[in-house]
Amino acid sequence: MTELVRIAPGALTIGRPLPWNVYDVEGNVLLRQGYVIQTNSQLEQLFERGRFKPRTIELPQEEVVEDHRERNPFADYPELLQSLEETLNAIAAAEPSAEKRLLGLAEMIERICTDAPDASLALIHLYSIGPVIHEQILFYAILCQFIGRQFGLEEKRVAVLTTAALTANLALVPIADKLNASNTVLNDQQRGVIRKHPQRSIQALQDAGINNKLLLTIIAQHHEQADGSGYPKGLSGTEIRPEAEILALAERYVAMITKRAYRERMKVADARKLVATLADGKFRHAIPKALLQVLGDFPPGTLVRLENNEVGVVSRRPVRARGPFVKAIFGPGGDRYTDTFERDTSKPDLGIQSLEEPEIMPSMDFSLVWGFST
């Protein structure tokens, strides 16, 4: 049996879905990924009794064996986060394996987005309540995959954009979670670190022998703005690469829907409206438009109320004249179903009435809802 590791304080949060299965000391499943902790008492019991299975990430090999398993973003989530952390650590330490790790991780993200696009987008919305910095970075990379393709970038450029999304905030990793948890105004030193992070991230990549010109340019420019108000050089218009604007928009959208100590998270409907306004001078018009097309009116992973008063989670975006598709979780009277039932919201009486955005998401077995074998 894989070694079971005790859950560390701070690893779990009330109101946020579990990022992995929780086991007891004998290896029996206590709670499945997607369960939402409701009270301090539940949290304390998990810290006392709960364990999780750490995943072992092998060092990159010279010969890579093709992995043709069905990709399940939810099952892959812990491994992706661990791989991301190890990759960024390898870059920061200038390890010889750094570039191979980075390219391998980017390929894995491309694979899950290609194999399971709706579940990959759902991952972002289900875990956006209070993500740590490594989760945020993973979300940026997933969004860049979708926006880049919708915008029309060729595959090689999307691949480089993904590596930029994974590394652009490398210099912020040591302080990001602390900044997000603080409700005080940034001091001058913190502002300085933030403004210098693109160049410091670039320097770390170069020290690790990673010198892809497009990659470094995207990172250098991802805080520039089309109207010239960005940093560090105040570039404007077509001086800024579209890849840099795509990364900037991915970061901004995740920030909108994420709760911070100093502000509440924005409702998804409001975030979509704000994205629509960003085409007016801040970004190339086609880039915010591409994100809105990717998300649709009701992004996967969001809760909705149907015309028949059922409440469910959007599982799939529209296909031709059908959908979006919703897995109903609660009946019209508010009682929880013992199973989930798919609803095609293009059918009469099953249309979406409104978005439901509670402070605490209901528990769900994500793999089951999205139809993955377990």
Q: What is the DSSP string of 7-63?
A: PPTTS--TTSB-SS-EE-TTS-EEE-TT-B--SHHHHHHHHHH-EE-PPPPPPPPSS
110, 238: one domain = yes
325 bridge partner residues: 316, 344
Q: Which of 38, 166, 16 is nearest to 105 (CA)?
A: 166
Q: Which of 211, 216, 204, 208 is nearest to 96 (CA)?
A: 208
Distance CA 152, CA 148 (A): 6
Whether 111 shows a pLDDT value over 90: the answer reads yes
12 bridge partner residues: none
Is residue 156 domain-resident? yes
133, 204: one domain = yes
Distance CA 137, CA 123 (A): 13
Which band of pLDDT confidence, cut at 50, 70 and 90, is reported for residue 181? low
14, 97: one domain = no
Distance CA 175, CA 186 (A): 12
Distance CA 372, CA 148 (A): 26
Name the least confident of 47-61, 181-195, 198-212, 344-358. Answer: 47-61
Cβ atoms 176, 208 nearer than 8 A: no
230, 195: one domain = yes
176, 310: one domain = no
Which band of pLDDT confidence, cut at 50, 70 and 90, is reported for residue 270? very high
Which band of pLDDT confidence, cut at 50, 70 and 90, is reported for residue 295? very high
254, 110: one domain = yes
Give residue 145's pLDDT: 98
Helices (H), 31-172: 40-49, 73-92, 98-115, 117-126, 133-151, 155-167
Q: What is the DSSP string of 196-222?
A: HHHHHHHHHHHHTT---HHHHHHHHHT
Cβ atoms 243, 164 nearer than 8 A: yes
Name the least confident of 139-143, 176-180, 288-292, 350-354. Answer: 176-180
Q: Which domain holds residue 94?
A: 73-295
Mean of the pLDDT values across residues 344-352?
A: 96
Is residue 60 domain-resident? no
Is residue 367 domain-resident? no
Mean of the pLDDT values across residues 259-283?
A: 84
* Amino acid found at 183: N
Structure tokens at 79: 């491994």
Helices (H), 225-304: 242-256, 268-277, 286-295
Is residue 363 domain-resident? no
Mean of the pLDDT values across residues 198-224?
A: 97
pLDDT digits (tens, 9 = 90+) for 129-161: 888 899 999 999 999 999 999 999 999 999 999
pLDDT digits (tens, 9 = 90+) for 306-336: 999 999 999 999 999 899 999 999 999 999 9
Is residue 279 domain-resident? yes
Give residue 58's pLDDT: 47
Question: 294 CB contacts (<8 Å, ≥6 apart)?
Answer: 121, 143, 146, 147, 150
Which band of pLDDT confidence, cut at 50, 70 and 90, is reported for residue 96? very high
215, 316: one domain = no
Question: 96 CB contacts (<8 Å, ≥6 apart)?
Answer: 209
Q: Is pTM, for the whole model, over 0.85?
A: yes
129, 252: one domain = yes
Distance CA 51, CA 109 (A): 27
183, 145: one domain = yes
Give residue 114's pLDDT: 96
187, 258: one domain = yes
Is residue 188 domain-resident? yes
Is residue 370 domain-resident? no
255, 347: one domain = no
Structure tokens at 178: 């602390």
Give me the number of domains the chain comprises.
Answer: 3
Is residue 130 domain-resident? yes
Give residue 264's pLDDT: 77
Domain boundary among 275, 295, 315: 295
279, 162: one domain = yes
